[in-house]
Structure 1
Amino acid sequence: MTNPVSLTLQGVCFHLPDGRALFSNLNESFDGRRTGLVGRNGVGKSVLARILAGGLEPSAGRCLRSGRVHYLGQQPAALPGQSVGSLAGLDRIIAALERIEGGSAREEDFDAVGERWDVRERLHRALSAAGLEHLRQDTPAARLSGGEAMRVALAGAFLSGAEMLILDEPSNHLDREQRRGLLAQLQGWGGGLIVVSHDRELLEPMERIVELSSLGLRGYGGGYSLHAEARAREREQAQALLEQRKAQRRRQERALAEQRERLEHRLARGAQQAAQANQAPILLGRQRDRSQASSGRLRARQEEAREALSQRVREAAAQVAEEVPVVLFAPDAFAAPACVAELDDIRLPHLRGPLREVSLKLLRGQRVALTGPNGCGKSTLLKVLAGHRPTQAGRRVLQVEAAYLDQHFSTLDARASLLEQMLADNPRQSEGELRTRLALLGLDADRVRQPSASLSGGERMKASLARLLYAERPSRLLLLDEPGNHLDLPALQALEAMLRQYPGTLVVVSHDEAFLRRLGLTQRLEATACGWSLSDWAE
């Protein structure tokens, strides 16, 4: 069946409150194909998604829409008094249905319900399929965890009756099984789809990848692997073209210099011959004027040639400007005791059943993946290890400095700039060195001077990592809770490379198995029905 939905951008621009252009002159069409929207952190993907959905007006240009569109943002937050039904976006329909059942004959109530008389039953089935059978439509949404809120919002999106879904980082708060369930739902979805994501497994089955960069929008057929291969070829070709044009400019610069030198020799020889021929002063003056005019014309032609060459170099350089690598430095090697941390018969707060009790010994150089379903206590265990959460029983011993990175960027002061916080962390480090390291992370001079709250999710994650890793005394125990969330693909690859080189002990929570496989892990600590189970890492 042909899907008539389409979204078309015509010369779309968006300017930030300070007047800077986030992107300019975007022209692209999105149809019924499953499309992944990718790009570096801070480039404006979420803003573009909201423009496509109609929730935000562009500064210039327009977006034409055909078909009903449903947009789901990165972090569906429950408002005070909101219920599960309203978080799913179905409260208006359910309320109209309840009024009809109570005797209402208002036309607007029947229009709101349309053909969806079984909306409550469908919501219940969708919640049960998502592992949320304990929720009702009137359950207060404030009780939900981040993962539960995302699953409720996703259930509502698929029940929305939309012909196009726009989902912004929908897998961020989902565990491994829930991600697989989302993949199955997306593959079974019959409407148009745009997924903003850095999740390689989620992007792989897409029919099309569209990349947003400072150069605009560029579409690629196929999923993530094909996109990555095509981009690698383009990078090689763009770099080769840049080197070719630089070499061409050097050759022509030498030719222009030789041409100028030959003219100056001719002019000097002509002036000398004229002076030796005893010509009248007026004739000498005219010859000098002609020589200067010839020299001026040559200079003008050469300047035009130089500018044309430089413009060709700038055009080639613009094609590789986006390819500046993201670099995250691992701390230098440091000494550490054989046992860096120990939990002895610890009773974790707010947990029940076998997962409530844990004993664990972390050794020097141990690298552990902490895995399990949402709500099993992974974040609680990390917080106890870091000393951020008290225990109800047992003994906790920490022999080294521990650095804890949570999912909510709590190490950042939202009101202070990142540069201010980095300077406070590193009183003996020069501002120039810190700014260089932040620039290599893709955080430019303007961004690091703004309040941290103004940074995008990916930029705040980079900032949090920078504060942990570039502190004056680097931590010998690194505790990371979903560090890949919000990071763009180049930053995620830089994080993978850094963590492989990290010399200390590492415990990392992640539902991204592709990310975990690249870290050189030694053990997996998994939450199971029988309790916490530690085993050797196996691919």
Structure 2
Amino acid sequence: MLTLQNLTYVHPNKDLLFDNLNITINKQEKIALIGNNGIGKSTLLRIMAGILAPTSGTVKTDSKPYYIPQHFGQYNELSVAAALRIDDKLRALRAILNGDVTEKNMTLLDDDWTIEERCQEALRYWDLAGLDLFQRMDKLSGGQKTKVFLAGIIIHEPEIVLLDEPSNHLDATSRIALYNYIESTNETLIVVSHDRTLLNLLPEVFELSKKGITAYGGNYEFYVTQKAVEANAFSEDLKSKEKALRKAKDVERESIERQQKLDARGKKKQEKAGLPTISMNTLRNNAEKSTAKTKDVHAEKVSSISDELNQLRKEMPDKDKMKIGFDDSALHIGKVLITAGDINYDYGSRPLWQQPLSFQIISGDRIAIKGTNGSGKTTLIRIILGELQPTSGTIQRADSSSIYIDQDYSLIDNKRTVYEQAESFNTGHLQEHEVKSKLTHFLFTKKYWDKPCSALSGGEKMRLILCCLTIKNTAPDVIILDEPTNNLDIQNIEILTAAINEYIGTIIVVSHDAYFLEQIGISREIAVATIES
């Protein structure tokens, strides 16, 4: 069991991240923890793991959780065994087996005589057989680093496992191994992920938001359905409040006009009656007071409804505030853009792919490039873009424009401010206020305009690229995306999905996210496989 009581965390800069959280997760429960980037999911996992202390409140666990972090660069200087915190134990075992049976070595080993067998079993399961446990982490790919920490589950045999974006950098085969583990394990799991396929394997969803934590008694699809119900109710509340505001303003106007007409009639009657000046002044003052009182009553009601409406609009989900407005490609659907015949690419004297590739790309296609990590997907993209030429076979390219959005968001110049980045795409000579209006539509409000792009998160950079594409005078004919959902939260994936689905043009995408590929309507794939050593 894992229990959080009255948990509060305040950043060192005094910003409140979350306040008074209360959660109980029972033994063998499997929980998805979701929420927008920056809301505190990773921080909460680190507090659960005992790595970070809360500002106030308590964490109670029956056993020490095993924590798999999202980023692995911090371990680059360590060996694989040191990153897994088993290096001392392995050295002690090997020393003992070589006859160095000291008290220190026996204490370090702590009777864990099967540690080496568990390591080999774990590495085999995660397709890392033969990996040297004492080699440095910086020699491994991102996917291998992820699998090293996943292997630690078998090695450490924990009862509680905390996973932060575990499917990041994993290829399709490794994702299936992860999904099988999640379905079959009896350990208590708390998983932070944007991988919707993975989230659907977890029977409960906890959403962390500015309001706290809300539990949904079902998987991610159930959560989406419940959120849609909430969104519809919210939309109806918004429409009702907008209608009430219009009605209140109409009533205010009509009441003031009616009062003014009554005052005018009364004044005419008083003048006809020939009342003394002092009496006329008294009646006029009374009329003015009555009109002012009427105005105040209605103004207060209008102000109250207006405040409630503004509060509702503030609570509107960010993705619903966005206006994407993608232009379409100027190319007619069905034009042949690329024809490749038996192409391959040599590294040294050796071809990259097992089988030469033959394919056509036609305007309007939605294509996924599939292959394991290191199979040459990025090389194929560079050939499609014309940056590389195949060393064998033929390729023909029609005139077309393309945008390549890589994993590092290289289209963004980190030295520029957000406004300067947007302005660099302003080929249609929009006015400054029009560019800033576009930025606002993509949730880059005034406080962002002078912010350096280097300070943006991955999700923000992706949103800024989408904004820049709407500012550009002509839409690209082809948009190529390389692992676009890596490092994006669910909200930004939904924004990206909506943008792609609005765009009429050619999409080529490299992604291991099957759910995302389904959502954007991928119709066919190009599979690549390297020649095995």
- Measured against the shorter chain, the TM-score band is 0.7 to 0.9
Do residues 105 (structure 1) and 103 (structure 2) align?
yes
Per the TM alignment, residue 371 of structure 1 is displaced from its structure 2 partner at its CA by: 1.1
Residue-by-residue CA offset, 1:400-439 (whole Å, 9 max, x unaligned): 4443332233333333334323322434442444444444
Aligned length: 521
What is the CA deviation profile of residues 481-538 of structure 1, one whole-angstrom value per residue up to 9, with x for unaligned ones?
A: 212223344543444454456555443212122222344444322235889xxxxxxx
Q: Once the 2 structures are TM-superposed, how far is the Cα of residue 90 of structure 1 from its aligned partner?
A: 3.5
- 1:59-458 counterparts in 2 under 5 A? 62-67=56-61, 68-77=64-73, 79-91=75-87, 93-94=89-90, 102-106=100-104, 110=107, 116-157=112-153, 159-160=155-156, 162-268=158-264, 284-322=280-318, 323-325=320-322, 327=324, 329-334=326-331, 338-340=336-338, 342=340, 345-349=343-347, 355=353, 358-365=356-363, 366-388=365-387, 398-400=397-399, 401-430=401-430, 431-447=432-448, 449-458=450-459
**Comparing 356-365 with 166-175, which one deviates more in the overlay?**
356-365
Query: 1:462·1:487 contact (CA, 8 Å) conserved in 2?
Result: no
Partners of 1:95 and 1:442 in 2: how far apart? Answer: 53
Percent identity of paired positions between Structure 1 and Structure 2: 27
Aligned to 1:507: 508
For 1:186, give the aligned amino acid.
Answer: I
1:447, 1:158 → 2: CA distance? 45
1:5 aligns to what?
Answer: 2
2:250, 2:471 → 1: CA distance?
46
* Inter-CA distance 453–326: structure 2 relative to 1 (3 Å threshold): same
Q: Distance in 1 between matches of 2:299 and 2:499?
A: 46
Unaligned runs of at least 5 residues, structure 2? none
Query: Matched residues in 2 for 1:11 and 1:503: separation?
Result: 46
- Partner SS, residue 198 of structure 1: coil
For normalisation by structure 2, the TM-score amounts to 0.82
Q: 1:79 to 1:306 in 2, by over 3 A?
A: same
Cα distance in 1 for partners of 2:83, 2:254 equals 73
The one-letter amino acid of 2:240's match is: Q
Could you say if the C-alpha distance between residues 358 and 166 of structure 1 is closer, same or farther in structure 2, counting changes exceeding 3 Å?
same
Rate the CA distance shift 1:425–1:286 in 2: closer, same or farther, 3 A.
Answer: closer
Moved more, 238-247 or 294-303: 294-303
- Is the 8 Å Cα contact of residues 26 and 217 (structure 1) preserved in structure 2? no
Aligned Cα RMSD in Å? Answer: 3.8
The answer to whether the Cα contact below 8 Å between 1:209 and 1:220 also exists between their aligned partners in 2 is: yes
Q: Which one-letter code corresponds to 1:349 in the other structure?
A: Y
Gapped runs of 5+ residues in structure 1? 532-539
Distance 1:451 1:394, change over 3 A: farther
1:105 counterpart letter in structure 2: E
**Is contact 1:74–1:169 with CA below 8 Å preserved after alignment?**
yes
Superposition pairs for residues 469-484 of structure 1, below 5 Å? 474-484=475-485
User: How many Å apart are 1:230 and its aligned residue?
Assistant: 0.6
1:524 counterpart = 2:521: no
Partners of 1:34 and 1:263 in 2: CA distance: 66
Is the contact between residue 36 and residue 489 of structure 2 (CA under 8 Å) also seen in structure 1? yes
TM-score (norm 1): 0.81
- Per mean C-alpha deviation after superposition, the further-off stretch among 510-519 and 36-45 is 36-45
Separation (CA, whole Å) in 2 of partners of 1:453 and 1:282: 74
Whole-Å separation in 2 of the counterparts to 1:80 and 1:161: 24
